[in-house]
A and B are shown apart, each in its own frame.
Chain A
């Protein structure tokens, strides 16, 4: 399927290749830039190009590949860093230098690398198409290898085998390989979806205690610039009790990705003690990399995440930030001259986001195991205005809303999660879990904590008028308790040992403050002067 370029407009190119299918991959020009068909008309097709189109010429050759954009799946993804098209950035740097050049590609998986293969079938046995014939071991993960064709196996290997070599050959001389691919825009199948019942422990007290997340659930973190979205996402990536983390730097800073790469190589997973990088896959499409690849990056990432979920893992996908993805969508839509919706975003923004969110969940996999995929997205609303389309579209489908507050961030209160506006729909279910597993007081203390914070907010309004001196002693005590909760419990400095708090520690800390509040509440009535009650413990 060959043709020529007949038009170029920003990230979209028009070609005259006949017989293309929607979402087919296309290679363009002498440098063979990668693209994907996004619109078909008689005699012409519009292609979204994943690389910089500058320098592309009219009449240059274009070639349709006949299959859609897919993610390569197999052992060796963990501790890797890829761009939105799943190009391996570390090996690209070794091969082509520090800058990303257009048209340069390397296979996502290192085919030279050998992995331990354990066969499940013997030679001479017949297998059906899609049947498991063995497993590759990657760290603690077992990658099932499914037969791509039916028939009798003539040979099957055992032990260390390179990815480029077949693991088995069948009677019709078809070679079976240990790695596969999957179209990124198509969700991977599972037997059935289950309701999330187990919390996703983040190690952040304000989240685990007040706004708990669920394994298989979704959450968004909206906040203006400087409110600590990235730091919080990275903290969750570090401390979450999860098997695999897929982190997408979607249109954000290159330095942050470099820093994370370095840090995750050094730090240990607090739950298993292994290197953090060994459970992490990074997808980096920084803000200066091509916009169309940014649009694809979250799909590449979610496909990798689903692949590990299908092995029965608990997987967490973090994307920073979904607003940049929405902007990429807007840019492509506008280059295609589609009718704009609110603020220029295409009208399908909300439905695309909803489809993406619904790839999260707890599932019974095709092989009968239980796996989960949780999704946490940061949102960067322009001017911190949460009424804008991307935030509103996310709000409709996400299970938790953790609003980051500019005021809190300015006074260096981190994580700057606003406790009166945020919510979690998993609240009741997860509360019941923690009450059973961690502390019988969990729910009672949480209610009490919320009451104190809420009352303190009202009282502060009064204090602003009459002054703290003019208030009753009991009210001043509430203010004091709220301040202790804020400073000692809700704040967590991510540069200190306190950055990670187990549920037990969380329960203990809040228990101490609530205990202190209950105890001191009776003292003013007994005539004890306020000054002696409030002896602020050290922070």
Chain B
């Protein structure tokens, strides 16, 4: 602890959001600084690099109206922290944790560093409690479990937000269906006002507690990197100290990664694939790995990030690195969307790695794995046969092949497609089985 505040007017260089301060006596990496411009306006910043007595500072604002002579940099001796208390529930904040719902800032009970600490792997409890979303393609084939991180890979123009909103409305994270012990942490990154108001309407309709961090497209880019960290710090507090089941929805991670690239470039760091920084994997992991459950504690953090795949390309660095970290993915397909199928989930590239633990006898039903395997087997075959059908026509194919093709069509139109209908898990499995039976495919 330092006894007095340090103030410096020794800025030697100023480049949009970066400034170099010289002759600094004491400084920490990641320390929060306040930068006061000649007009008296104060902005927050963070120490990025220390080299002898020269310090590189990143400011979270715009950097407008700063100069080299009058601007003062004040070092605070603390790293970025989040103010926490239960009064945050049902409140809306911006990317710097300032309330934007017109109410005063809640009084914090404690302050916690936003970067979080890694969970000791031996303290993790296995995620195995089934979460029902009402969508057959998820519940039946790519089951979500409590404590999982399962992203939705969408394409521009596909109804990811409708699916997320629907899950927010319908899913019951807490097994006891005790609404008090559930919370949604909603983090909006670089959203347009139209999408933002859609989500806020949805949150208003649910009974569940929520905490929202909103960074709109016009808000500072650096806050896009902060908002999810605030959101997750809040989620950890609610889950692991207040025993709540927390669902964290972050949309859109593509904007997060673009912000990361923008800031990395301004720091003149070495660019990796497509200009994204080489540490993007570790950076994303520092967010996603905060999901989970702890042994001996009832709370949980389940994460549903939305990733919009640039150019519909699943090998683009953003979905690619995400997929390497998360426990599966729900992939939306433009093709299905064009046919009017909702949700347009392409089940073949979709996956839930933790499904096996969450399903079966005593949870979703004894025949769940078998039914899912059969549906996959025949649907994959049907998708192959469609290629052949395009060449020789359905008439030119064998009876067995025609049967599989008809099954494939029915599967998409009746099982995947739900429109406004939501199914519980029993109805999902019944629907799958009845389609298999209709085409005589229920036996292997």
Chain A interfacial positions (CB closer than 8 Å to B): 6-10, 14, 52-59, 81, 89-90, 92-93, 97-101, 224-226, 249, 251, 253-255, 257-259, 261-262, 284, 286-289, 291, 324, 327-328, 330-331, 334, 340, 343-344, 380, 382-385, 410-412, 463-469, 495, 538-539
Contacts and interface: CB of A to CB of B under 8 A. Distances in A.
Interface string B294-318: 1101000000000000000001110
B328 A254 contact: no
Nearest to A338: B270
Given A58-B27, A331-B282, A412-B376, A255 B120 contact: no
Interface stretch (B34-42, B190-198, B392-400): B392-400
B432 interface: no
Given A225-B324, A344-B270, A410 B118 contact: no
Contacts of A58: 24-28, 50, 53
B348 A410 contact: yes
Interface residues of B, number: 80
A59 to B, nearest CB: 6
Contacts of B118: 99-100, 254, 286, 288-289
Contacts, number: 204
Contacts of B294: 98
B328 A284 contact: no
Interface stretch (B86-94, B284-292, B434-442): B284-292
B74 interface: no
Contact of A412 (B279, B329, B373): B373
Most buried by B among A53, A262, A287, A343: A287
Nearest 10 pairs of A and B residues by beta carbon: A287-B285, A383-B315, A98-B123, A411-B380, A288-B289, A225-B323, A258-B124, A99-B117, A54-B30, A257-B121
A258 B126 contact: yes
Contacts of A468: 388, 397-398, 401
25 contacts: A7-B52, A9-B50, A54-B113, A55-B28, A55-B30, A56-B28, A58-B25, A58-B27, A59-B25, A92-B120, A224-B323, A226-B323, A251-B281, A255-B124, A258-B124, A258-B126, A284-B121, A286-B285, A287-B289, A288-B285, A289-B118, A324-B281, A331-B282, A383-B317, A383-B320
Interface of B: 24-31, 49-53, 79, 113, 115, 117-127, 147-148, 240, 269-273, 278-279, 281-282, 285-286, 289-290, 292, 294-295, 297, 315-317, 320-321, 323-325, 327-329, 348-349, 351, 353-354, 356-357, 369, 373, 376-377, 380-381, 387-388, 391-392, 396-398, 401, 444
A291 B286 contact: no
Contacts of A538: 444
B29 A54 contact: yes
Given A226-B323, A410-B349, A254 B28 contact: no
A6 B322 CA distance: 36
A181 to B, nearest CB: 23
B282 A57 contact: no
Contacts of B388: 463-464, 467-468
Nearest to B27: A58
B444 A56 contact: no
B400 to A, nearest CB: 10
Given A10-B49, A288-B282, 8 more contacts: A9-B51, A59-B26, A99-B118, A225-B320, A226-B351, A251-B285, A255-B354, A467-B392
A259 to B, nearest CB: 6
A531 B273 CA distance: 53
B3 to A, nearest CB: 14
Nearest to B295: A98
B31 to A, nearest CB: 8
A58 B55 CA distance: 10
A371 to B, nearest CB: 29
Given A284-B121, A410-B380, A254 B289 contact: yes
A291 B118 CA distance: 12
Nearest to A254: B121
Given A254-B292, A258-B125, A385 B315 contact: yes
Contacts of A8: 29, 49-50
Contacts of B271: 344
